Amino acid sequence: MGVHGLFSPSAMSQKPSADISRPSASRTGRGVRPPAAKRSLGQNFLVDSCVARRIVSAADVTPDDTVIEIGPGRGALTSHLAMVARRLIAIELDDELAPRLREKYATADNVEIVHADAREVQAEALLGPGESYKLVANLPYYAANPIVRKFLAANPAPSVMVFMVQREVGRSMAAQPGDMSLLSVMIQVYGTAKIAFSVPPKAFRPAPKITSAVVRIDVYPKPALDLDRHERFIEFAAAGFRAPRKQLRNSLKTGLGATADEVDSLLASAGIDPKRRPATLSIEEWGGLYELWDSFAESGRGAPSIDA
């Protein structure tokens, strides 16, 4: 594991050579074929360069930007990012692809390949003091949620995240009140999320069974809630979504293990109609409800603990 190819000013004029998805024998010294796609690592490689360009453009990458790319794979996005970004740090877990990428970008001074699990990496250790960054990725679907949540909660967090996920997951991340889920709440505490565009299975090899979507999150400078209490807030929201199709009062009663009186008094204090469904609450309403519940607990006025 390690980092190489540290930034130098000459990198801005550096033109990376072609995509490594079809490496030549002379370039890799390892034969013509790239390693077969590994399903265990969520390897559905992007083969549509038009989609790759749209992803990079959705992130508004400029020559002033540092970009962290998760899962560069065979380099479908990497080459486009390296052409624009001031500094590109690409984190790849695959033991075969990481050395190939290193070899490929050995002379590109603005590109660093980090052979690591993105779920374990500390963004701070990769960046200079005060260095801001954008995150761009075609994420491995098996680890998309933990990776997105890890970077949203990181210190520093990226200013913008643009990534591909399963379309249903993307829709849930970007949902508005009426369609909110626990995932929407978890994501939108950190920033505003929207779907940039959808991508059909034929844009990948091997082709997945489902449609994908590119999501853009504009991350708030500070999360909408105090980070110290973030995990507790998520536990509270999870309790609220325990019975998502039921009215909020019943869902909270089940999730919190509370009495009907306790939940009614909580909702009345927050000015929230107990008949609403959990999916209709906005982030602000979840935040206000949590603050009240927390203050009830602090003052010992009968707010129950979360029923795990």
Which residue sits closest to ligand SAM, CB atoms considered?
71
CA distances 144 to 1, 78, 169, 255, Å, are: 22, 18, 9, 26
Count of residues in the chain: 308
92 sits near ligand SAM (criterion: CB under 6 A): yes
**What's the helix, strand, coil split of the chain in %, to 5?**
40, 15, 45
Residue 119 or 277 with smaller CB distance to ligand SAM = 119
Q: Output the CA angle 161-215-175, nearest 5 degrees.
A: 115
88 sits near ligand SAM (criterion: CB under 6 A): no
Nearest approach in angstroms of CB 96 to ligand SAM is 9
CA distances 241 to 151, 184, 280, 288, Å, are: 24, 11, 11, 16
Nearest approach in angstroms of CB 7 to ligand SAM is 21
Nearest approach in angstroms of CB 138 to ligand SAM is 3
CA distances 178 to 49, 90, 172, 255, 275, Å, are: 36, 37, 11, 20, 14
Interface segment toward ligand SAM; rule CB under 6 A; list 87-95, 183-191, 253-261, 274-282 = 87-95
CA distances 164 to 120, 219, 292, Å, are: 20, 17, 36
Residues of this chain, 44-63, that bind ligand SAM according to CB under 6 A: 44-46
Q: Which of 5, 23, 34, 140 binds ligand SAM (CB under 6 A)?
A: 140
Residue 143 or 303 with smaller CB distance to ligand SAM = 143
Residue 11 or 97 with smaller CB distance to ligand SAM = 97
41 sits near ligand SAM (criterion: CB under 6 A): yes
304 sits near ligand SAM (criterion: CB under 6 A): no
Q: Which of 56, 67, 68, 93 binds ligand SAM (CB under 6 A)?
A: 93
State the first-to-last Cα distance of the chain, in angstroms, to the nearest integer: 38
Nearest approach in angstroms of CB 286 to ligand SAM is 29
DSSP string, 92-127: E--TTHHHHHHHHTTT-TTEEEEES-TTT--HHHHS
72 sits near ligand SAM (criterion: CB under 6 A): yes
117 sits near ligand SAM (criterion: CB under 6 A): yes
Nearest approach in angstroms of CB 109 to ligand SAM is 21
Angle between helix 230-240 and helix 248-256 axes, rounded to 10 deg: 120
Nearest approach in angstroms of CB 149 to ligand SAM is 13
Residues of this chain, 222-261, that bind ligand SAM according to CB under 6 A: none
Q: Per DSSP, what are the bridge partners of residue 199?
A: 212
144 sits near ligand SAM (criterion: CB under 6 A): no
Given the rule CB under 6 A, which residues bind ligand SAM? 41-46, 70-74, 76-77, 91-94, 97, 117-119, 138, 140, 143
